[in-house]
Amino acid sequence: MLDRFKVPPADQVRVAEAALRQTVAAIFEKVNLTPEDAAIGADVLVTTDLRGVESHGVSNMLRSYVQSYQKGDYNPRPNWRIVRESPSTATIDGDGGLGIILGPKAMRIAIDKAKTVGVGIVTMYNGRHLGAVGHHAMLAAKEDMVGMCMTATQPGVVPTFGAEARFGTNPVAIAAPAKTQPSVLFDVATSAVAGNKIGLAARVGSNLLPGWIADREGNPIVEETPVLPRGQYFQLPLGGTREQGSHKGYGLALMVEIMATMLSGTLPFGLDRSTGYKHFFAAYNIAAFADVAEFKEHMDQMLEWLRETRPAPGQERVLYPGLLEYEEEKERREHGIPLHKEVIQWFGKITSELGVLPLVTL
């Protein structure tokens, strides 16, 4: 994550992982989730914060999840079911359940199928927000598989040359285990910048960079710009402009619609809101393709080689996706998770409102 999105040190309040997990689970139980589901939801959010992915952790998401449960937009007790199935596939009706809670269950089905026939692919419609898609991909990596996850969300991004939003930021994640090196965990929006990062930039007072958004007419804004009010801009696909490759970001978003939306038998959110968000979960069993120990050894060799790449002038080192997050997780497990003081205020308010014990800070 770019520095511009980080909580400034003066605004940080640190909380311990266990305390945050407890409070988040208690809040989820108060909006009518089962204790088991509340624990899953807390695990997904807190793990995401531990990895430093604030855009999709507690601070940026919990508030909106609680509001959506309270408004009845999310079903706290979804009666989700498999509507079509084959040895390597399943299509699920998510019945309006929150994605961060149904995601791990869908990925479990994909993993079990991959154990049996080599690959497991699960799609889901009637879904709600999936959180950090990388979290779900990682569940497969922990079982010696390559995991993938995608989600198709509400429109906010213009297609290349367009002046109307068509697709969501439609993120894609892939995770793969290594032997001694931290796992690869690649998790990115197919838009130039994740939607939640615009919210983070607004909170920490940072500008948006050239090529991230377009004006109301669809003209890409190619200078640095303050965050515009909601409704006054569109997001641009990865690449920003056609010359810089926005047709690739647009095509990747379309790929997500094909894999998640079309393969769950539905239409994009922008054409049919009634079928909610759509998700895609994939588990590729390494043992079906290659020797698992050798695969992990190869991963180590490749990842060390990437880390040892000579840096360009002015750059400190070359990273790979998942490395910084692994380092951040070690630091945060030890020293706590830094939340913005404004988020702490919200916790005070919501715990008192719901009758939950206050969040303990460090």
| Helix, coil or strand: residue 201 | helix
In degrees and rounded to multiples of 5, residue 66 shows phi and psi of -60, -45
Q: What is the x/- site pattern for a second copy, positions 83-112, by CB under 8 A?
A: -x-xxxx-x---------------------
Distance CA 152, CA 172 (A): 10
- If binding is defined by CB under 8 A, does position 293 make contact with a second copy? no
Strand order in the sheet with 184-188: 81-86, 89-93, 119-127, 277-285, 145-152, 172-176, 184-188
Of 231, 140, 153, the residue nearest 190 (C-alpha): 153
Burial label, 81 (beta-carbon count in 10 A; 0-12, 13-18, 19+): exposed
Distance in Å, CB of 57 to a second copy, minimum = 19
Q: Which residues contact 290 (CB under 8 A, 6 or more apart)?
A: none
Unique residue bearing structure tokens 């940026």: 60
Site for a second copy, residues 175 to 204, rule: CB under 8 A: 176, 184, 186, 188, 192-193
In degrees and rounded to multiples of 5, residue 202 shows phi and psi of -60, -45
Among 12, 16, 162, 202, which residue interacts with a second copy (rule: CB under 8 A)?
Answer: 162
- If binding is defined by CB under 8 A, does position 288 make contact with a second copy? yes
Q: Which is nearer to a second copy, 20 or 213 (CB)?
A: 213
Among 231, 312, 334, 355, which residue interacts with a second copy (rule: CB under 8 A)?
Answer: 312
Site for a second copy, residues 122 to 141, rule: CB under 8 A: 123
Distance of alpha carbon 205 from the chain centroid: 23
- If binding is defined by CB under 8 A, does position 222 make contact with a second copy? no
| Helix, coil or strand: residue 47 | helix
Among 6, 63, 179, 298, which residue interacts with a second copy (rule: CB under 8 A)?
Answer: 298
Q: Which residues contact 8 (CB under 8 A, 6 or more apart)?
A: 204
Distance in Å, CB of 143 to a second copy, minimum = 15
- If binding is defined by CB under 8 A, does position 164 make contact with a second copy? yes
Distance CA 171, CA 118 (A): 25
Unique residue bearing structure tokens 């060799």: 301
Among 27, 149, 286, 323, which residue interacts with a second copy (rule: CB under 8 A)?
Answer: 286
- If binding is defined by CB under 8 A, does position 63 make contact with a second copy? no
Residue range at the interface with a second copy (CB under 8 A); choices 16-24, 51-59, 119-127, 326-334: 119-127
Among 9, 36, 71, 217, which residue interacts with a second copy (rule: CB under 8 A)?
Answer: 217
Q: Which is nearer to a second copy, 62 or 141 (CB)?
A: 141
Distance in Å, CB of 145 to a second copy, minimum = 10
Distance in Å, CB of 324 to a second copy, minimum = 10
Among 6, 63, 179, 248, which residue interacts with a second copy (rule: CB under 8 A)?
Answer: 248
